[in-house]
Amino acid sequence: MTANPLLQPYATPFGAPPFDAIRPEHFRPAFDAAIGEQKAAVAAITAGGEPTFQNTIVAMEKSGMALERIAAAFFTLAGAHSNDDIEAIERDIAPVLSRHGSEISLNPALFARIDALHKGRERLGLDAEQMRVLERYHTIFVQAGAMLDAEGKQRLATINERLATLGTLFSQNVLADEKSWSLLLEAPDDVAGLPDWLVAAAGQAASDRGLTGKHVITLSRSSIEPFLQFSARRDLREKAFAAWIKRGENGGATDNRAIMAETIALRAERARLLGYESFAHLRLADTMARTPGAAIELLTSVWDAGRHRAAVEAGELQDLIAEEGGNFALAAWDWRYYADRVRKRRFDFDSSELKPYLQLDKVIEAAFYTAGRLFGLAFEEVRDVPTWHPDVRAWKVTADGGRFVGLFLGDYFARASKRSGAWMNGLRDQQRLTGDVRPIVINVMNFSKPPAGKPALLSFDDARTLFHEFGHGLHGLLSDVTYPLLSGTNVSRDFVELPSQLYEHWLERPEILSRFAVHAETGKPMPAALLRKVLDARTFNQGFATVEYTSSALVDMDLHLLPSGKDVDVMAFEEGVLERIAMPPAIVMRHRAPHFQHIFAGEGYAAGYYSYLWSEVLDADAFNAFEETGDVFDPAVAKRLREFIYSAGNLRDPSVAYEKFRGRAPDPKALLRKRGLDAVAGVGDAVAG
């Protein structure tokens, strides 16, 4: 045990986890030791005298720090660089962690202390942050079942444990399907239509698989989406698209259909145990939306506008097919290909022209520059931090002439050991309870890795994803709170996307693109004419994008509104929802249920995928605050943004936080203007109300 690096103080630069010394066999003993340590701490709390804020809430805040540290390192590997050993540990530890969490949240003696403090909170002399922490603890414990009887608590703990196992299996099944499939391009005609950069990326993907000299398309979004956009081979587009949408639904050991059905039923049962009409009602009770009805109102309003626009777009694409002599109806595997050609015709803009101007290193630099202009941050790359893979990079973040803010790590390239998608998480959260603890923040992406010696080139969507995740990263880096419970991104699910989605706006600004969009070979900046075309085309194909996203959010919400969920056929249910909302036949959900990791690989966005749209109302209106000044880096607006959004964590109710920043409630019409969609009556009541 003494040799286990997870159980020692981290003697590394910036106190980062010693990934170079950590082995899979270290994790289970470390988890067991940390769980035991927290159990002892909770026992000491409940055995204490009269409850006080210090001996109960502060003691609880300190009790699980070792476990959180170990879990952060483990789940970083599980997501970004997994292997058979890590996956086995993940399956083993998921129910153990769930059981441990239930023992704490359902501990009657512990809740009695929290409840007593909450009832007498006005007499405790607490400051605003302490009051917020106490209120959050009480809400969290109540929603976790602390007020149930013994039988109800036992059943709830069993449900939670099973759900933890199901979520892990779901995620691992999707990863297995993604790893096992690739499209080998062998004949010269197989790469017809593909730009040079995509051919090079496919060559690197083949080389990574031991197929030197060949080309491979994978199920990484940064590989398959551009293939669908550029490939002139309709048969290969269809083959690739079929594999993409069938992840988790291929039969055999990695099929997720039974897992989904059991998950929906167990979540519905848990909601009933806790006195809620459905799981959606349970999850939204502690969000900005408050009720499923408010979220559905927003989704439906945007859906109507998006579907109308998508019908117009589909007609344009079908006309182009006919014009070129195609005797077939527009299909889902055709949309990106023909949309790109319509874009080129309408705006005289070939999206492949843009990619040489979006070098990964320059886009990272642009994200850092924006943070410097807005918040006074500086980034210095450091090379002595141990990481989980050679591709991972690290930067020391400072402000005010050298004050240490935190450590930022970026893991940008796709690989077989990494799950798909992009995300931010923290290896260490900011807090002042145990000293001036500075955060360690991670961004993980899945960009196509270039051949050796060549720069990584991004699509505009890739660049937007980088800015998005870096916005989350800033939310963690700039956190300025005392208590860990309130730190950084520990906010309402439909508020957490505001800092990330808002940050995307700066990518599209001429002030950024003219400075950092420089050609990979010539070093020349993007021509002003091309920049204008990029900006003019921003709302192109927004019907498709709106339908693709909103259909997923509506299916998520309807699944979790089921009062029972028993014996539900999730695939038939999905089909029924899409039929009811009149899903356009040539568009497929952005995330079909069998690979919808947001809602089934854990509960992060379950009954909460709507939150991206909810937050988009806020981000569109928030960026208008800068535009209204005539300066997208206006110091006064940036100061308010930092104080009330990026650094404030969960110090305030999110509605209050937003109004303190903006001076008023958000204007919902800003969302429709941003997307270039016609205004739809009723959107305002859903959000501003």
Write the pLDDT tens digit of every residue in 243-278. 999 999 999 999 999 999 999 999 999 999 999 999
Contact in structure between 217 and 240 (CB atoms under 8 Å): yes
- CA 7, chain centre distance (Å): 30
Mean pLDDT of 444-460: 93
Q: What is the pLDDT of residues 471-487, one digit of tens each?
A: 999 999 999 999 999 99
User: Is residue 482 a contact partner of residue 431, using CB atoms and an 8 Å limit?
Assistant: yes
pLDDT at 352: 82
Residue 688 has pLDDT above 60, yes or no: no
What span, in angstroms and rounded, lies between the C-alpha atoms of 546 and 456? 29
* pLDDT for position 678: 55
Q: What is the pLDDT of residues 355-398, one digit of tens each?
A: 899 999 999 999 999 999 999 999 999 999 999 999 999 999 99
Rounded Cα distance, 589 and 551, in Å: 6
- The share of the chain scoring above pLDDT 90, in percent, equals 90
Q: To 10 degrees, the CA torsion angle through 518, 391, 439, 648? A: 40
What is residue 351's predicted lDDT score, i.e. its pLDDT?
Answer: 80
Contact 605/267 with Cβ under 8 angstroms? no
Helix runs in 565-665, H state only: 570-580, 597-600, 611-627, 635-641, 654-662
CA dihedral 391, 419, 225, 198 (to 10 degrees): 30
Distance CA(41)–CA(110), nearest Å, equals 11
Element (H, E) at 671: helix 669-675
Q: Give the residue-averaged pLDDT of 502-519.
A: 96
Residue ranges in 47-107 assigned as alpha helix (H)? 59-63, 65-80, 84-105
CA pair distance 104, 102, nearest whole angstrom = 5
Confidence of residue 684 (pLDDT cuts 50, 70, 90): very low
Amino acid code (one letter) for 665: A
Element (H, E) at 394: strand 393-399
- Spatial CA neighbour of 589 closest among 183, 234, 249: 249
Q: What is the pLDDT of residue 677?
A: 82
Query: What residue type is 208 in one-letter code?
Result: D
pLDDT at 260: 98
Contacts of residue 149, Cβ cutoff 8 Å, sequence gap at least 6: none
Is residue 535 scored above 90 in pLDDT? no
Structural contact between residues 597 and 170, judged by C-beta atoms closer than 8 angstroms: yes
Residue 95: count of CB within 10 angstroms of its CB: 17
**Integer Rg of the chain from CA:** 25
CA 339/CA 337 separation, integer angstroms: 6
Residue 598 scores a pLDDT above 90: yes
Strand partners, 425: 442
Contact 411, 80 (CB under 8 A): yes
Summarize pLDDT for 628-639 with one digit per residue, the tens: 999 999 999 999
d(CA 498, CA 674): 15
Q: Calculate the average pLDDT of the chain.
A: 95
Q: Name the 3-class secondary structure at 404.
A: strand
Specify the pLDDT at position 674. 86
How many angstroms separate the CA atoms of 684 and 301, rounded? 10
pLDDT tens, position by position, 669-678? 888 888 888 5
In the structure encoding, which two tokens stand for residue 25, read together? Answer: 């066999």
Q: What is the pLDDT of residue 56?
A: 98
pLDDT for 682 equals: 42
* pLDDT over 80 at 679, yes or no: no
Residue whose structure tokens are 């807005």: 374
Is 60 exceeded by the pLDDT of residue 206? yes
Whole-angstrom Cα distance, residue 195 to residue 190? 12
Q: What is the pTM of this model?
A: 0.94
DSSP state of 518: B
* Residue recorded with tokens 């540990």: 89
Q: In this predicted structure, what is the pLDDT of residue 100?
A: 98
**86, HSE (Cβ side, Cα atoms, 13 Å):** 18
Q: Rounded to 5 degrees, what are φ and ψ at 237?
A: -60, -45
The answer to whether residue 178 scores a pLDDT higher than 70 is yes
Contact 514, 534 (CB under 8 A): no
d(CA 79, CA 420): 9
Catalytic residue (choose from 469, 497, 574, 616): 469
Look at residues 649, 282, 292 and name the one whose alpha carbon lies nearest to residue 495. 649
Distance CA 556, CA 609 (A): 7
Tokens 């927003």 belong to residue: 298
For 38-85, the pLDDT digits (tens) are: 999 999 999 999 999 999 999 999 999 999 999 999 999 999 999 999
Q: Is 469 a catalytic residue?
A: yes
Q: Per this entry, what is the length of the chain?
A: 689
pLDDT band at 607 (very low <50, low <70, confident <90, very high): very high
Q: What is the pLDDT of residues 431-441, one digit of tens each?
A: 999 999 999 99
Q: Indicate whether 689 pLDDT > 90.
A: no
CB 550 within 8 A of CB 561: no
CATH number of 5-105+107-147: 1.20.1050.40
What are the DSSP calls for 205-232, one per residue? Answer: HHHHTT-TTSEEE-SSHHHHHHHHHH--
Nearest CA to 422 out of 18, 147, 80 is that of 80
Say what the pLDDT of residue 566 is.
85
Q: 3-class DSSP state for residue 417? A: coil
Residues with Cβ within 8 Å of residue 527, at least 6 apart in sequence: none
Assign residue 295 a region (left: φ > 0; alpha: ψ between -120 and 50; beta: otherwise). Answer: alpha
At 111 the pLDDT is 98
pLDDT of residue 3: 87
Domain boundaries, the chain: 5-105+107-147, 181-246, 281-329+540-688
- With CA atoms as reference, report the closest residue to 89 among 179, 178, 168: 168
